[in-house]
Amino acid sequence: VLTVGVDLGGTNIQALVLDEERTLGTSRMKTPAQGDKTLVLDVLAAAVHAALGDAEHEIEEVAAVGIGTPGVVIEGTVGGATNVPGWYDRFGLAELAHDKLGVPVRLANDVTAAAVGEHHAGAGRGTDHLLVIFVGTGVGAGLILNGQPYEGGVGGAGEFGHTVVVQGGAVCPCGRRGCVEAYAGRRAMAFAAERAVAAGRHTILFDVQRELGRARPTSAVFKEALDRGDDLAADLIDQAISALGVGVASAVNLLDVDAVVVGGGLADRVGDAFLVRLEAAMRPSLFLQPPRVRLATAQLGDLAGALGAALLARDLAGA
Ligand SMILES: [Zn+2]
């Protein structure tokens, strides 16, 4: 069965053609930074056709297309995403994409799709119960329970970034307080750094940012400042790992997953040391002793989402 998976991100749209266990072709295009949903859909369709061109197949041979998208996915509709133009107000993406591509479309949250990819072919292989966390601009998660993606009652599961670890704590980009993302999301960490500087604290973070030619303090900027002994970078990373530790431990206490896979900018940059420190931060809050959960770093990089979406499309293809 031939399916195509699309990973729609705030920066890139990636597509992948999957035949049984083989990736036959891929493509990558820039997500429009401006415009409306029609423009994004055009680029999405172009990415699908480019991947099929790379695979030397036609859209008529495709059984279904899977799309991993930011936002909350409810029965073929998506809404609430702020990093893709036109994606905030809820609309019927599955139907629009179906009309445009001429094949059935399966929608999923982007992190759920990435979790399906890591479960099938990455760091989560061989587990029945898996939590996959991506620590990037925000903090997202996908769940595999009993071997199947768990999307919740209406598709809102996996909002690990907005589980609360500090009652009445720091303001989160979602507007609430004390969420994991308020401490571990890069956007929130950058705001915290700006506030610290405004309060008179010294840091080389923003010098490093200019040196590396970045528009904002990226994971690479935080890592470089940390390596150069910057106290503020060290403190913010400590707080991020501590919040993640409490959050992951609470999720493990609730779900007893076999493994937690961690990916995304900061985790990738800091590497194995990140996992060691996360494990230490989790330990005091874990209920089951000795802890049986395995921690691992994500293996598939940015192709996990497109692969997972292609696998999810098989649901529709009846394969
Ligand atoms: Zn939040």
Q: Which helix (H) or strand (E) holds 236?
A: helix 231-255
Distance 233 CA to ligand 1 centre (A): 22
Distance 59 CA to ligand 1 centre (A): 39
Q: Which two tokens stand for residue 163?
A: 């589980």
Closest CA to 117 of 138, 142, 151, 135: 142
Distance 95 CA to ligand 1 centre (A): 30
Between CA 278 and CA 194 the distance in angstroms is: 25
Distance 74 CA to ligand 1 centre (A): 20
Between CA 289 and CA 45 the distance in angstroms is: 50
Per-residue tens of pLDDT for the chain, all 319 residues: 999 999 998 889 999 999 988 999 999 999 999 999 999 999 999 999 999 999 999 999 999 999 999 998 998 999 988 889 999 999 999 999 999 999 999 999 999 999 999 999 999 999 999 999 999 888 999 999 999 999 998 888 999 999 999 999 999 988 999 999 999 999 999 999 999 999 999 999 999 999 999 988 988 999 999 999 999 999 999 999 999 999 999 999 999 999 999 998 788 888 788 999 999 999 999 999 888 899 999 999 889 999 999 999 998 876 5
Q: Which two tokens stand for residue 303?
A: 């192709």
The Cβ of residue 141 has, within 10 Å, a number of other Cβ atoms equal to 28
pTM here is 0.92
Distance 261 CA to ligand 1 centre (A): 21
Distance 310 CA to ligand 1 centre (A): 29
- Residue that is written with structure tokens 């859209």 in the block: 59
Distance 174 CA to ligand 1 centre (A): 4
Between CA 127 and CA 120 the distance in angstroms is: 9
Q: Which two tokens stand for residue 23?
A: 């990736």
Distance 244 CA to ligand 1 centre (A): 13
Half-sphere exposure (Cβ direction) of 27: Cα atoms closer than 13 Å: 23
